[in-house]
Structure 1
Amino acid sequence: MSGTSSPGPDPDRLELAALLCSRVCHDLISPVGAIVNGLEVLDDNPKPEDREFALDLIRKSARTASARLQFCRLAFGAAGSSGAQIDLGDAQTMARGHIEDGKCTITWNLPRVLLPKNRVKLLLNMLVIAQQTIPRGGTLTVDPVGEGETMSFRVTASGLNARLPQNIAELLSGSRGPATDAHAVQPYYTRLLAESCGLNVALAPEGEAVVVTAS
């Protein structure tokens, strides 16, 4: 008996919206929870050194939560009208704020141009997928494929023990069943974005790196 399951029906619009909301909440729980913890320490009338630790925790966590919200708004949200264009420079700023954390850095080789909204959303989602392939950190190198409004992207993830996350490649290609939880919805949504741009997105090893390509 084959261990490969055939793709099932795609989630309907309500299911997709719920899964994406769950994904965003998952990204925000950690920094928001840290802010709450810091406030609880302040409520206990701490010693001066504990108070400073709590304030530092609140500051860092608030910055992280803000960066993640801005990134998620563009990567998953409406981000303007259906025909809107987005500046790749703004996308770079949001990507760095969300991804660069002391372990992971971005080498951005894209020109500062306006691109259709869904292409920029696709790029940001490709970066999230690429980051998952280097859990110990490393470098994400972003290169253009083509130019102008039809530009697509190649993201190379280089780091110690870079690997293919389980089932991500299958979700991107459509060879696995539809998204069923908040973790699976992001690569599934990435495939939908690629299809809306007339592109295919693929994840594959390349030497000691892992590459995400939209073409």
Structure 2
Amino acid sequence: MRNDIAALVGSRICHDLISPIGAIGNGVELIGLTESTSGPEMALISESVENANARIRFFRVAFGAASADQIIGRTEVLSILSATAKSGRFTYYWQVDNDHARRDVRIAFLLLQCFETAFPVGGDITTIQDADTWTLTAHGDRMNYDENLWDSLTRPRLGYEHSAAEVQFALLPIVLQEARRTLNIAVTGDQITATFK
């Protein structure tokens, strides 16, 4: 089996960062208990630690390695999305029952990041799953839909040059191929719908 070096690097970075970020959060909590520091500085530090922790957990799923037999629990997914939504611009509606293959959830999380690019001021994202078909729908104000960028998901052979901020678009076709999934994108008005099966 060929290991995906980029995914392993992502897993390693997330693994190494999640413990110190958690430790900082614990330290901030202890300071709050032992000293009368309830000013805006402490609030800012606490909020920043929560945001960093949420993002690193999200990145661990989106960019980390995922073997074919790995499962991720629904409770964990809901926890990650809830924490991410607190400090972000999006509201996530995860209408997916049960636990699922980590590869499928990884595809969904990468699509969530693609939606972030298309809706710079935020919006609502709904994820549903029916049998083997997953559908993610995003809508919001001021949609910024770059047709060439989104075409790179379904037609990677066009050779689109991705920037660092668009790495999710470069990675997603590879992950889809590994999972033997196909993706369709539909755009109507202020809404993007992505379906993979």
**Scaled by the length of structure 2, what TM-score is found?**
0.73
The residue identity in structure 2 corresponding to 1:105 is: T
Q: Which moved more, 1:61-70 or 1:131-140?
A: 131-140
1:185 aligns with 2:167: yes
Alignment check: 8 A CA contact 1:100 1:106 kept: no
Gaps of 5+ in 2: 25-35
- In the TM superposition, residue 210 of structure 1 has moved relative to its aligned partner by 1.3
- In the TM superposition, residue 17 of structure 1 has moved relative to its aligned partner by 5.8
Partner of 1:55 in structure 2?
A: 42
Partner of 1:84 in structure 2?
A: 70
Q: Deviations over 1:85-118 (max 9, x none)?
A: 112332222123224536321122211x122221
Question: Structure 2: how far apart are the matches of 1:154 and 1:185?
Answer: 21
Q: Which moved more, 1:133-142 or 1:60-69?
A: 133-142
Partner of 1:107 in structure 2?
A: 93
Question: Structure 1: how far apart are the matches of 2:174 and 2:143?
Answer: 25
Of 173, 185, 200, 2:182 maps to 200
- In the TM superposition, residue 209 of structure 1 has moved relative to its aligned partner by 0.8
- In the TM superposition, residue 201 of structure 1 has moved relative to its aligned partner by 2.1
1:133 aligns with 2:115: no
Alignment check: 8 A CA contact 1:171 1:178 kept: yes
CA RMSD of aligned residues (A): 3.1
Indicate how the Cα distance of structure 1 residues 179 and 70 shifts in structure 2: closer, same or farther if over 3 A, else same: farther
Q: Which moved more, 1:57-66 or 1:175-184?
A: 175-184
Question: Structure 2: how far apart are the matches of 1:100 and 1:133?
Answer: 20
Question: Structure 2: how far apart are the matches of 1:164 and 1:158?
Answer: 11
Partner of 2:142 in structure 1?
A: 161
Alignment check: 8 A CA contact 2:73 2:100 kept: yes
Question: Structure 1: how far apart are the matches of 2:71 and 2:120?
Answer: 32
Q: Looking at CA atoms only, which structure, 1 or 2, has the larger radius of gyration?
A: 1
Alignment check: 8 A CA contact 2:126 2:137 kept: yes
Indicate how the Cα distance of structure 1 residues 60 and 74 shifts in structure 2: closer, same or farther if over 3 A, else same: same
Gaps of 5+ in 1: 1-12, 36-47
Question: Structure 2: how far apart are the matches of 1:83 and 1:61?
Answer: 34
- In the TM superposition, residue 184 of structure 1 has moved relative to its aligned partner by 3.1
Matched position secondary structure for 1:142 = strand
Matched position secondary structure for 2:138 = strand
Question: Structure 1: how far apart are the matches of 2:7 and 2:99?
Answer: 27
Identical amino acids, percent of aligned pairs:
23
Indicate how the Cα distance of structure 1 residues 194 and 161 shifts in structure 2: closer, same or farther if over 3 A, else same: same
Indicate how the Cα distance of structure 1 residues 190 and 92 shifts in structure 2: closer, same or farther if over 3 A, else same: farther
**Scaled by the length of structure 1, what TM-score is found?**
0.67
Matched position secondary structure for 1:167 = helix
- In the TM superposition, residue 180 of structure 1 has moved relative to its aligned partner by 5.1
